[in-house]
Structure 1
């Protein structure tokens, strides 16, 4: 198992105290957390992309560029890149630049996004979201793999002999994962191209994600790809470790349940994947995706995920817990020292066996 830290750069008042720090301080915390994650041995650090709601993650390339300058080893991912609303030419340019700056450490997780408001913001039709995603990803693939691309599509002006610059670092373009939360569209697109899948594993019951992952693996093989390369990542709810599960519940219960109330979206009540059904902390621990409890409780839960998903990459989040930055770092250290080694041994993977720069560069002969 590999491990990444994910932030969607939430910037909302503390649900119990009402406190809200400045945007500048919040963005600085994102960078410092990525630096600390590398120091602690995490494999990846991911920044989300949101253009609506209480978030500061509208420009993940800027944040990841800051991380590229402060780190040397950790892989830099997105979570997700909302390719459905973006121009593939700009995506190709921006992330290839970041790929060069980081010397091949960039990997994208693409998706149509978790906030419906961004389609109106960009003047796009929400009903066409999956068509946007499929067409724009097809073009992005070509732009990173070919030069002098000529292309015709439905959603942007045609291209005639276009070559985006810079080119991706090394001999191959960045790996692209497909974020999957509710629909079979993303698993199908990932399987068609032989790409890895990243399950949200965030709000719905586990069976909903099993359905998506099983479909992906079935279609991956049907498209003629080697099943050994059908890598799967899984998200999780927030991390909160304590000496015992009872202490974790006592310390985190009020915050967790207040945050659930704060983030409830009544206008999306009938759509899966937008409001958690796990309203109490006891429900979240028993059946939800949150990693709350003692280190052993969290180990057991991740291995339960693995039994269901057979995933290779586990994502964790610490900045949605209401903790100050030093306490978040303590959580990361605790996880890195007591949880990650046990799970790595119990659930080995071939993902990221070599450093990023070695995977991406063809030796000169």
Structure 2
């Protein structure tokens, strides 16, 4: 099972000091967080994509390419690439380049985002969000898999004799996750193609995530990709830790109360009861995270949000130390216990390459 962190890249005032980092500081701090995530033994770092203030990750592959040069092992992903408003040709090119730069440490999470104005900013009609998603992804798959693409759709100009350059590393496209908080259409798209489904499990109650993952698993099996238990599932999560639980609550409360997304709404205690947010000791984070398996089944990837709402870099790095040293080692052991043999591991470039060579012996280097 893979463990990691994702960022939304918000530039938010620290409510305890009144200081707001510059955009430059926030971008550079994101790089430091990714490097620290590798240092503490995490498997994945992912960034969102936003094109409006107060967010800075408008060019995820630029950021991830820079991080690739400063890391050696960690897998680099997006926590949203906007499939509905980005051109699929450019997505295919950018992620193929990133694959080569990172030597295969790349996958991608596709989604529609949650900012309505982004559609006209990129010349798209939000009323066609679902058809755009379906058509763009169908083209993206072909661009990564076919040497020459002739294509015609309804949402963009046709392609004639188009060849992607560079081709995906080793002929293996990046593994695709489809991310969603509330859209069953996204779960269906992931299931139809046999891709991964990432339920961004940070705002809604467990019952909602259980339904979304259940739909995906059922449809994965319906489309003939294997038993529902073999579907590839990822979850988001949100934590703040100190060794003493009450210290964590006291320190995090002003950040929660003033957070751009959920501030000035439910209390910290109510939100923690109703959603997967965990504020407390490492042991409490372990217990609550292990409970996710009770309603989504055995899954493959767990990402945590830890650097939002104005939290200073020093605090985020301390959180990563706790996550890497005290939480993830226990989660790895406990999630592995009693895991059925038929539940697949999270796909990586190397595992996909091995599978391709086993399926086509002519591709093996020694044949």
Q: Is the 8 A contact 1:169 1:360 kept in 2?
A: no
Q: Is the 8 A contact 2:8 2:308 kept in 1?
A: no
Across the aligned residues of Structure 1 and Structure 2, the Cα RMSD in angstroms comes to 1.8
Gaps in structure 1 of 5+ consecutive residues: 265-275
Aligned residues: 350
CA distance in 2, matches of 1:315, 1:291: 13
Q: Which TM-score applies when normalising by structure 2? A: 0.91
CA distance in 2, matches of 1:323, 1:222: 44
Residue in structure 1 matched with residue 353 of structure 2 by the alignment = 360
Segments ≥4 residues shifted beyond 3 Å: 15-18, 355-363
Secondary structure at 2:171 match in 1: coil
Deviation (angstroms), 1:16: 4.5
Q: Is the 8 A contact 1:38 1:73 kept in 2?
A: yes
CA distance in 2, matches of 1:43, 1:37: 8
CA distance in 1, matches of 2:59, 2:176: 18
> After the TM superposition, which of the residue ranges 85-94 and 242-251 deviates more from structure 2?
242-251
Deviation (angstroms), 1:247: 1.9
Q: 2:261 matched to 1:263?
A: yes
Q: Deviations over 1:46-75 (max 9, x none)?
A: 010011241001100110000111111111
Residue in structure 2 matched with residue 351 of structure 1 by the alignment = 345
Deviation (angstroms), 1:279: 1.6
Residue in structure 2 matched with residue 268 of structure 1 by the alignment = none
CA distance in 2, matches of 1:68, 1:214: 35
From 267, 290, 294, the equivalent of 1:307 is 294
Residue in structure 2 matched with residue 320 of structure 1 by the alignment = 308
Gaps in structure 2 of 5+ consecutive residues: 337-342, 358-363
Q: Is the 8 A contact 2:13 2:310 kept in 1?
A: no
Q: Which TM-score applies when normalising by structure 1? A: 0.91
Q: Is the 8 A contact 1:105 1:357 kept in 2?
A: no
Deviation (angstroms), 1:321: 5.1
CA distance in 2, matches of 1:247, 1:17: 18
Secondary structure at 2:21 match in 1: coil
CA distance in 2, matches of 1:293, 1:14: 20
| 1:1-365 pair list within 5 angstroms | 1-227=1-227, 228-237=229-238, 239-259=239-259, 262-263=260-261, 279-310=266-297, 311-320=299-308, 322-348=310-336, 350-352=344-346, 356-357=349-350, 359-360=352-353, 362=357, 363-365=364-366
> After the TM superposition, which of the residue ranges 6-15 and 52-61 deviates more from structure 2?
6-15
